[in-house]
Structure 1
Amino acid sequence: MNVAAVLSCALLLAIWGLPWSDWLGHFPAHMIRHMGLVAVVAPLIVLGFPRLADPLALSPLAGAVLEFLVVWGFHLPVLHEAAMASSVVFIIEQALFLIVGLVVWAGCLRTGGLAGAGGLLLTSMHMTLLGALLTLSPRVIYALDHAGALQEQQLGGMLMLAIGTPIYLIAGLWLVARSLEDTKDEMA
């Protein structure tokens, strides 16, 4: 087993096994799990278990659109609150986050080049927008009925920005650099 495979398994255990809500509150814990799955664990699984990821390698644009629909869908108050209230909906949410993360990373890394970079940069843009909306909202969006709920939501948004934005952006720029290097080698 390679390093990426071991790290992905260890991080999955940490994401789902540690009491994040006790430490950070509900919404920041949600974002640690969400961003951990789509931006950290998913690329590690793609790199660590390539045969598992190959069937999920859709086009980068299709992957970005699927992830957009799942991520924004589960951040609508009705679905987010359903996941808070029901273990079954929570498991579905977490599974879908991981699956669409795998689809994005498998498609982008397998395709590579500018198309792969475009998929990651598009994903970065919609994740950044959602993180900014959560951080800058002047009111609580979700049914968090306790003191400090707005600060908890804003911390969750900041975690989304701090984890997702740089990972997708750096990976996208890395694919651009590789593409440019390949073009340069072809011209030589």
Structure 2
Amino acid sequence: MTDITHSDAGRLAPLWPLAAGSALLALLWLGPLPQMARASFSAHMVMHMGVVAVVAPLLAAGIVRAAPAFVAALPPGLAIVASVVEFAAIWTWHAPALHDAARVEPLFLVLEQGSFLAAGVLVWTSALGARAAGVCGLLLTSMHMVLLGALLLLSPRPLYACADVCSSTAALTPLADQQLGGALMLIIGGSAYLVGGLALLSSILRERAPIGEAG
């Protein structure tokens, strides 16, 4: 019995990213953030960045460990397509009408968060499988995260109907709340995908270095 238990533990240990990602996702979606996000753009952004920049790479790492053959068989071009899909999802859901709907309507919030999770997992999983193309996909995603974050941070006026959506007891003005959310996207989102792309590039170069030295 002890041998079987140790064997099972050994097989399950590499899958810890799936468990960690699932636990964090439950905390983000079932904790206080969804309610806080109704009254705070920055709280909404914390939930968004948690899903795409932390949960998604954890789940992708778990998928790679659980099904390496499946991930290796993914076409390299999928990493670029996935980055375009995530670009479309993020920019679409940050259009004022859709974003405001997600802040007040549970159905739209579920659709928004579900699309963020699906796009994020697709980007990270395809990047880890494609390697070289994955570097391009992650760096492209980092760029548009930074661009949107800067737009939100530097806008001279609120882009959303925060005066109607936010609580009258909100600690920040609508503009300050939006600016904080933009800074979170710029720093967390931009950095996560940039670091992921550079780490992937570094692993490729390390693998090729012995070949170059031998030549």
Scaled by the length of structure 1, the TM-score of the pair is 0.91
Counterpart of 2:49? 35
In the alignment, the residues of structure 2 paired with residue 105 and residue 67 of structure 1 have an alpha-carbon distance, to the nearest angstrom, of: 11
Counterpart of 1:129? 147
Assess if the C-alpha contact under 8 Å between 1:25 and 1:152 holds in 2.
no
1:77 aligns with 2:102: no
Question: Secondary structure of the residue that 1:99 maps to in structure 2?
Answer: helix
Q: 1:186 to 1:25 in 2, by over 3 A?
A: farther
In the alignment, the residues of structure 1 paired with residue 130 and residue 37 of structure 2 have an alpha-carbon distance, to the nearest angstrom, of: 39
In the alignment, the residues of structure 2 paired with residue 153 and residue 34 of structure 1 have an alpha-carbon distance, to the nearest angstrom, of: 14
Deviation at 1:18, TM superposition (A): 2.1
Counterpart of 1:88? 107
Residue segments in structure 1 that go unaligned for 5+ positions in a row: none
Q: Letter of the aligned partner of 2:32 in structure 1?
A: P
Q: Deviations over 1:131-161 (max 9, x none)?
A: 1110111100001005611111011111112
In the alignment, the residues of structure 1 paired with residue 74 and residue 50 of structure 2 have an alpha-carbon distance, to the nearest angstrom, of: 19
* Correspondence list, 1:22-171, <5 A: 22=36, 25-50=39-64, 51=67, 54=71, 59-113=78-132, 115-145=133-163, 148-171=173-196
Counterpart of 1:172? 197
In the alignment, the residues of structure 2 paired with residue 122 and residue 130 of structure 1 have an alpha-carbon distance, to the nearest angstrom, of: 13
Q: Letter of the aligned partner of 2:78 in structure 1?
A: S
Q: 1:136 to 1:56 in 2, by over 3 A?
A: farther
Deviation at 1:183, TM superposition (A): 2.1
Deviation at 1:61, TM superposition (A): 0.8
Q: Letter of the aligned partner of 1:36 in structure 2?
A: G
Question: Secondary structure of the residue that 1:97 maps to in structure 2?
Answer: helix
What's the Cα RMSD here?
Answer: 2.2
Q: Letter of the aligned partner of 1:11 in structure 2?
A: L
Residue segments in structure 2 that go unaligned for 5+ positions in a row: 1-11
Percent of aligned positions that are identical: 43
Q: Number of aligned pairs?
A: 187
Question: Secondary structure of the residue that 2:161 maps to in structure 1?
Answer: coil
Scaled by the length of structure 2, the TM-score of the pair is 0.80
Deviation at 1:89, TM superposition (A): 1.1
